[in-house]
Amino acid sequence: MPRVTAPLNCQTCPYKWKYMDILEEDSITGIQNNCTIINFKKGETIVKQGTNVTHALYVAKGMVKLYIEGSKNIILKIISNGNYIDLQTLYTDKRYNYSVSALENSMICMVNSDYFIKTAESKPGFLVEVTKSISNSLRDVYDKISDLESKQIRGRLADSLIYFAENIYKSNTFDFILTRKELAEFSNMTMENAVRILSEFKKDGIIDTNGREINILQPELLKRISENS
């Protein structure tokens, strides 16, 4: 698959944003003409913290992580296919306050930011959905920060496993895409603590693990740990 391509037809694309059909044909064609598709391999950087915002970024295929770089990285969000990557950056300081990298081979649609904003501002129905996307994204980050600050490490790890089961995989059994180091960064703890607590959950019969596969055996108990620890 070529690394950089041009979209063929955004109207019939099976990976398009679900609210694209709100727009008229000429607006969709305009977005198509202002879009470049870039295919990123697993582990590649899509956005570097501190760089200028030039495009609206849409995850057409794959999955990415959004994280704050520092002496210890903190993963704030996992963004799966069918979603834009934090559209609020288009309207704020025009610099990325985070980095984004591919958790698996991913296809990213990059729409010129000026054209995207112009389209949203001229199409009320589309703007409503863009605003909802921004609001939901901010809510998720605020909830994440609140959980990281208020919960103990067992509760944070339980919360992370529940998040993946309910929001990413829609199943209590899944092949976990994060490494143990990334799970620790997502739960704001050391890798040693993440591995230890996973072992404790397994010993207590709350989860089972087999390589990268995680099976949540007692989801209600895991939720109680998330809420009370």
| Inter-CA distances, 215 with 78, 164, 173, 174, Å | 20, 11, 4, 7
CATH number of 151-228, picked from 3.10.20.30, 3.10.450.50, 3.10.20.600, 1.10.10.10: 1.10.10.10
The pLDDT tens digits for 41-56 are 999 999 999 999 999 9
**Contact, 30 vs 119, CB < 8 A?**
yes
Give the model's pLDDT for residue 201.
Answer: 96
The residue to which tokens 């976990």 are assigned = 176
The answer to whether 33 and 56 are in contact (CB under 8 A) is no
Domain layout of the chain by residue ranges: 4-123, 151-228
Integer Cα distance of 128 and 115 in angstroms:
17
60 near 109, Cβ under 8 Å? Answer: yes
Location of structure tokens 């895991």:
222
Q: How far apart are alpha carbons 56 and 27 in whole angstroms?
A: 15
**Residue 5 pairs with which residues in a beta bridge?**
37
CATH assignment of 4-123? 2.60.120.10
Query: Which pair of tokens denotes residue 13?
Result: 């694309």
pTM summary value? 0.88
**CA 150, CA 170: separation in Å to the nearest integer?**
26
- The string of pLDDT tens digits covering residues 67-87 is 999 888 999 999 999 999 989
Instruction: Please work out, in degrees rounded to the nearest 5, the angle formed at the alpha carbon of residue 3 by the alpha carbons of 68 and 96.
Output: 20
Q: How confident is the model at residue 148 (pLDDT cuts 50, 70, 90)?
A: confident
